[in-house]
Amino acid sequence: MEKETAVFAGGCFWCTEAVFNTLKGIISAKPGYSGGDVAHPTYEEVSSGETGHAEAILIEFNPEEISYKDLLTVFFASHDPTQANGQGADIGEQYRSAIFYMNEEQEKEARAYIDELKAEGIPVVTQLEAFTAFYDAEDYHKNYFENNKNAAYSRAVISPKLQKVQGRFQNLLKQHRI
């Protein structure tokens, strides 16, 4: 099986991980940190806003089952790409909207997608950054939604986001739903 990698930051990584784990063709989606200049940062360090890192997810996917363009479509539909340095109540550079492209093809596709949105009048602020490193988040962040479905944040933020994505992208979903 062919495997490719994508790295996206779209606010809280708990949400982004939960969204992408519902899609067919996703081999894994794991939370972590990317885009900064501190090696092996902790959650507390990233939360301070001093590392330059964003909460991100590293996605391994099968391009025969889901395309990078499909991933971009879901990414832009599942967060607000017009909000600089935050998503909803999650404010700070660590919650910025960013695509960390792995190669020229990903950069080209992401840039073209952003240009399409801007042509539609959407003031996208999503940053395009060449991928340099990804650092895994601490274990308690992994599969947060699956392990904490009844937590207040899960009920108030993640579940509605998942319902929106599942309603809009039924053709891209794995069989199970929330």
Catalytic residues: 12
Q: Where are the beta strands (DSSP E) in the chain?
A: 4-10, 26-34, 54-61, 86-87, 90-91, 97-101, 127-130, 134-136
Backbone angles phi, psi at 29, to 5 degrees: -140, 120
- Taking the C-alpha atoms of residue 51 and residue 8, their distance in angstroms, rounded to an integer, is 17
Quote the CA–CA distance of 104 and 95 in Å, as a whole number. Answer: 25
- Strands 54-61 vs 26-34: parallel, antiparallel or unpaired: antiparallel
Give dist(CA 96, CA 126) in Å, integer.
8
Helix and strand element counts for the chain (H, E):
7, 8
